[in-house]
Structure 1
Amino acid sequence: MNELRKWENNALNDSNYRNVFNDNVDALNNTISDLRAYNGYTKSRIDNLVLSVSGNDIKEVEDARTSLNGTIHPTLSSRLTAFEQAVASLLATMNERMELYEKTNRDLENQLKAIYGAAENNLEIYVDANKGNDVTGTGALNSPFKTINKAVQQIPRAMNSSSVYINIVPGTYNEDVYIRDKQISAIFIRGTNSASVEPTKAQTGVFVRHINFQDCLGYLSIVGLNQINADQTPQKKGTFVFTRCGYASVGLCRFDDSKAKTNSVPAIVIDSGKGGAHSSYFLNQYAAQIDQYTSHSNFPYTNTGTGNTFGVIADASIVQINPPFLVGATTQTLTKNGGMLV
């Protein structure tokens, strides 16, 4: 039997999926045809042995005990038993393959429903750094993943009308999270305690090093997270970065790692997009928010803080400031390369 090709990751986006599936079905059909032909051959040989040959024809008896590969079995019964066992094993393997394809097709159908709006429910994923498991976890409330990255891997590339919620239990998530090329109406990354946090008074308890959205449509929300290890962010681009995205929202977050200031790591970067921070607290930061490459965002009075180098930097971008400006900084606002504050 020819080796079947397995389902590959991201097969939904692979234009060759139909050919792979059809090739595997053809291989199974050819194997079944060969088995039927060989079964008919075996029956004819047995009929010849029983009906046309005398019991004294030793050569024919010996030939009946010889399989196609030349193996001579001690008795005809043992040869038939071996053949039946081989067929049973092959059929079991084929059944396993067919069950796999049925499951794959169900998964594919669910993804297509999500893409075209047939999915009725939002996608809820839970993460717990202390009790979660990326191997055995399912992302359910009672079976969370251990890392945010594992949760992000479960997000489909597109969903028509439903939203994605990644719910993070308080803990430390010292990881760099990248979310790329998602055509989804909304993605929320939030602490499970976000409804009760007060970032101006205390840390939120959900410590995350770096989240980076790239080329994602829709509403992108980060709520109730706390900055950690800012000096370890990739290329020191920023704690939360949004590049060419629909709308970025950062709320109820606390940025208080002083290493961000000493290493010139901005808290929030909006690159070629829209959005802004609100109700967040900035302490000893290099910059609370940087907008660049023709971004258009806002920075309301609900943001507060102290001890920062810069408050808002508008670099070839437009930032709407809703006064009063309550983020204490050596330079509260800075415009560069034609940037504007309105």
Structure 2
Amino acid sequence: MASNTPRLNLYKKDPVADANDTFNITTMLNDNWDRIDANVVLVSEKGVANGVASLDANTKVPTSQLPSASTSAAGIVQLNDTVTSTSTTQAATANAVKQVYDAIVSHSAETIDSAHGIKTTSDITLYVDAVNGNDSNPGTQSQPLKTIGAAVSKIKNLVIEHTVTIQLAPGTYTENILIKNLIGSGSFYLKGASDLAGASSYTINGFVSFSGCTCLVFIQGIKVLGTSSFSSAIDFSRCLAGRVYYCKIDRSGTNATTNSYGINIGANSFVFVVNCDISNVTASGIGAAISVFETSRLYSSDNTGSGNSIGLRASAGTIMKNGTQPSGAAAESTNRGGVIR
């Protein structure tokens, strides 16, 4: 009896059982030819656009006939074993992924959260040299940075659990320094000389501002000139523990017009000022060598200075004094419940 072939479904007769059947041109001939024509691949259709792939000598489809993958289309992709590639058409190997994984795991104990960054694991010293430095340098003693701001940018995301120091070389640094949100149980130093006599060799022609710091922050052995565009030469705001040692402040020519301060402590800060010289702080409004306000506390010990409008000023804050203090036209001034004792 009649049957169909398994692959192309061609219709065929049994030469014995169907020997007496009438030959049907449509079913026995035309329909079969149509099926063959629909399934055959011409040589001219191999390896061309909208055709079919041809096989190479190894019975494999050549890569030249396969589409490349992209971020918007599927296709073949080359493997890449590096962890620094920026390619969008290559895929990372398992080994490259493992390298990244291992690096993350090695720092996992140090990660605090996305806002705070990485804990220090040892003491850090960054060196800055206004004359011989370069901000593309790593900040080592042999390859110092040029600006203090560049050094500050390298530590701004650290959780300081050790001693972090920015060590200046002698010179003049014409920049304003903003040190914000340093946290941790360690200490930060912005350091020049080791005594008051040497401070003039390390000059910042601008202001230094500390804000939002919870670790112990020091500025030591530096002469700070201030700028007429900012009220304070050295400023602390919302800092739990600040220290100003062996610093000189001379605001001759840099006083702000309305209110001007040598060292200004505010917004619930607690700061020691010891062995400093603060001079020539004057203004049409308030001109104070050392000022404390907004419930802040300050310990002032063995400080000197002259030519100031006011030596010590406490406005809604407390100054605890010991030894000598900067002099002024008025030695002391208090208001809004401020205390000097």
The TM-score bracket by the shorter chain reads 0.5 to 0.7
Alignment partner, residue 259 of structure 1: 253
Alignment partner, residue 270 of structure 2: 274
SS of residue paired to 1:154: helix
**Aligned-partner Cα distance in 2 for 1:147–1:85:** 52
**Aligned-partner Cα distance in 1 for 2:215–2:188:** 8
RMSD, aligned α-carbons = 3.6
Alignment partner, residue 198 of structure 1: 197
- 8 Å Cα contact 2:179-2:210 kept in structure 1: yes
Alignment partner, residue 222 of structure 2: 225
Find 2:233's aligned residue among 234, 239, 253: 239
Q: Counterpart amino acid of 2:125?
A: E
Alignment partner, residue 42 of structure 2: 59
- Residue 60 and residue 133 in structure 1: after superposition, are their counterparts in 2 closer, same or farther (change >3 A)? farther
Q: Tell me, which stretches of 5 or more residues in structure 2 are unaligned?
A: 1-39, 69-75, 82-89, 283-287
SS of residue paired to 2:145: coil
TM-score normalised over the length of structure 1: 0.67
**How far 1:132 sits from its partner (Å)?**
2.4
> Any idea what the Cα deviations from partners look like across 1:258-307, whole Å, max 9, x if unmatched?
1244634211111121113111112212322110001111111x211111
Alignment partner, residue 112 of structure 1: 111
**How far 1:88 sits from its partner (Å)?**
6.8
Q: Counterpart amino acid of 1:59?
A: L
1:1-342 pair list within 5 angstroms: 59=42, 62-63=45-46, 65-66=47-48, 80=62, 82=64, 89-91=78-80, 93-95=90-92, 98=97, 101=100, 105=104, 108-109=107-108, 111-112=110-111, 119-134=120-135, 136-157=136-157, 159=159, 161-185=161-185, 186-191=187-192, 194-195=193-194, 197-198=196-197, 203-232=200-229, 236-261=230-255, 263=257, 264-271=259-266, 272-286=268-282, 287-300=288-301, 302-325=302-325, 327-342=326-341
Which has the larger share of helix? Answer: 1
**Aligned-partner Cα distance in 2 for 1:131–1:71:** 67
**How far 1:332 sits from its partner (Å)?**
1.4
SS of residue paired to 1:239: strand
Alignment partner, residue 19 of structure 2: none
- Residue 145 and residue 116 in structure 1: after superposition, are their counterparts in 2 closer, same or farther (change >3 A)? closer
**Aligned-partner Cα distance in 1 for 2:163–2:44:** 71
- 8 Å Cα contact 1:241-1:270 kept in structure 2: yes
Q: Counterpart amino acid of 2:291?
A: I
SS of residue paired to 2:42: helix
- 8 Å Cα contact 1:164-1:188 kept in structure 2: yes
Q: Counterpart amino acid of 2:189?
A: F
**Aligned-partner Cα distance in 2 for 1:221–1:98:** 42
**How far 1:244 sits from its partner (Å)?**
1.0
- Please identify, of 308-317 and 178-187, the stretch whose mean Cα deviation from structure 2 is larger: 178-187
- Please identify, of 221-230 and 309-318, the stretch whose mean Cα deviation from structure 2 is larger: 221-230
**Aligned-partner Cα distance in 1 for 2:80–2:297:** 62
SS of residue paired to 1:285: coil
> Any idea what the Cα deviations from partners look like across 1:12-55, whole Å, max 9, x if unmatched?
xxxxxxxxxxxxxxxxxxxxxxxxxxxxxxxxxxxxxxxxxxxx
Percent identity of equivalent pairs: 22
**Aligned-partner Cα distance in 2 for 1:118–1:214:** 20
SS of residue paired to 1:331: strand
- Residue 122 and residue 60 in structure 1: after superposition, are their counterparts in 2 closer, same or farther (change >3 A)? farther
- 8 Å Cα contact 1:117-1:161 kept in structure 2: no
**Aligned-partner Cα distance in 2 for 1:100–1:237:** 51
- 8 Å Cα contact 2:117-2:157 kept in structure 1: no
**How far 1:228 sits from its partner (Å)?**
2.9
**Aligned-partner Cα distance in 2 for 1:83–1:170:** 67
- Residue 261 and residue 150 in structure 1: after superposition, are their counterparts in 2 closer, same or farther (change >3 A)? closer
SS of residue paired to 2:111: helix
- Residue 311 and residue 121 in structure 1: after superposition, are their counterparts in 2 closer, same or farther (change >3 A)? same
- Residue 184 and residue 71 in structure 1: after superposition, are their counterparts in 2 closer, same or farther (change >3 A)? farther
